[in-house]
Structure 1
Amino acid sequence: MEDVRSVRMSTEERDDFLGSGGTGVISFDSSDDGPPYTRPISYGYDADSENFYFRLAIGPEDAGKRDLIEEDGEVSFVTYDETDRGWRSVVATGSLEEITKSALDPDVAEAMQRVKIPFVDVYDSHPLTLEFRFFRLTPDEVTGQQQAGTGE
């Protein structure tokens, strides 16, 4: 087995890797001791505030997903990439906060202008039947790792 070592990314390397958005995987803690609810997702990232932004789609048959989103449980978000220079990944954990029109403050509005959340069609239902809601993750912890020797 190949010995691949990793090193922690600096804040600048992490912010460069995350850019203003991309794709990753989000996991919600389950309220019963079952496995986490995990789904691919697109994200926006604001390096100024170090917050992540998500557009979550909820379909008519997604009652369980709606319940998980509305609970105040912990979420984990992971994004990963592998290039000819090696792999890189970032893991962020914390709680989601819904961004509603009535609670939209100027700082959040400015941050949402700086991010680019890709529209990725991975839905079981037609997008016109889905409810889209926006959320912010102000992480309790963010860690970036990269294959040793890949730093700029």
Structure 2
Amino acid sequence: MSDARSQRPPDDEDGIEMSPAALDDFLETAGDGVLTLHADEPYSFPVSFGYDVATGRCVLQLVSAPDSAKRALLDDEADATLVAYEWTAPDDWRSVVVSGELARVPDDGAAHDVYAEQATPVGMSVFGTGAQNLDVEWYELDAASRSGRRSPR
């Protein structure tokens, strides 16, 4: 039995592939998504991010408790995938998947600027402890691959 989805035209209700320029535009405005660290068991969590079009990198400020599962999985370099999406209605949506290497970067101001301009603000109360007890580090996700689809509006 053949898969009916594979027989549909490419720009049907499954969405239309986004151009590189449309991917850049979306990533610059998305501000948040879900990051998955590729470990023995994948670990996913919501994040805020900024996107630097000039370098093709997503900039993240990752906050964690010293003994958290997230902290244990954050190496100097790790494979990761970021999914960002926007859904307004069944016929009005966009989603982008960015995969690559997640690496720690210094807080040299450049990462902070991109993040501050574009990331979705998030309160620290989600961590259940005071800010003084949290580790805050800057990371970049170097986009080795990007893909996105949008509704065929």
Same fold (TM over 0.5): yes
- For residue 144 of structure 2, the aligned residue among 115, 140, 143 is 140
CA RMSD of aligned residues (A): 2.2
Partner letter of residue 140 of structure 2? R
Pairing of 1:25-36 with structure 2 (within 5 A): 25-31=34-40, 34=41, 36=42
Identity across matched positions, percent: 28
Q: Aligned AA for 1:90?
A: V
Q: Which protein has the larger Cα radius of gyration, Structure 1 or Structure 2?
A: 2
**CA 1:87/1:137 → structure 2, altered by over 3 Å: closer, same or farther?**
same
- Is the CA contact (8 Å cut-off) linking 1:20 and 1:114 kept in structure 2? no
Distance in 2 of aligned mates of 1:60 and 1:113: 26
Note if contact 1:95-1:138 (Cα within 8 Å) is conserved in structure 2.
yes
Q: 1:58-111: per-residue Cα shift (whole Å, max 9, x none)? A: 21331x32231116331110001012561101100111111125xx5xxxx546
Aligned to 1:92, which of 89, 98, 107? 98
Counterpart contact for 2:64–2:135, Cα < 8 Å: yes
Pair 21,99 (structure 1): closer, same or farther in 2 beyond 3 Å:
farther
Conserved in 1, the CA contact under 8 Å of 2:59 and 2:111?
no
Structure 1 residue ranges (4+ consecutive) displaced by more than 6 angstroms after TM superposition: none
Bigger Cα displacement from structure 2, 68-77 vs 89-98: 68-77
Between the aligned partners of 2:127 and 2:18, the Cα distance in structure 1 is 33
Quick check: 1:26–1:77 contact (8 Å CA) kept in 2? yes
- Indicate the residue corresponding to 2:21 in structure 1: 12
Question: Which sections of structure 1, spanning at least 5 residues, go unmatched?
Answer: none
Query: 5+ unaligned residues in a row in structure 2: which ranges?
Result: 1-11
Is the 1:20–1:46 contact (alpha carbons within 8 Å) kept by the matching residues of 2? Answer: no
Distance 1:10 1:54, change over 3 A: same
TM-score (norm 2): 0.77
Equivalent in 42, 46, 60 of residue 48 of structure 2: 42
Change (3 A) 1:52 1:42: same
Kindly state the Cα deviation for residue 113 of structure 1 after the two structures are TM-superposed: 2.7
Residue 140 of structure 1: CA displacement?
A: 1.0
Q: Which amino acid aligns with 1:7?
A: I
Q: Distance in 2 between matches of 1:93 and 1:67?
A: 20
- Are the structure 2 counterparts of residues 110 and 72 from structure 1 closer, same or farther at C-alpha, using a change threshold of 3 Å? closer
Q: Residue type matched to 1:10 in 2?
A: S
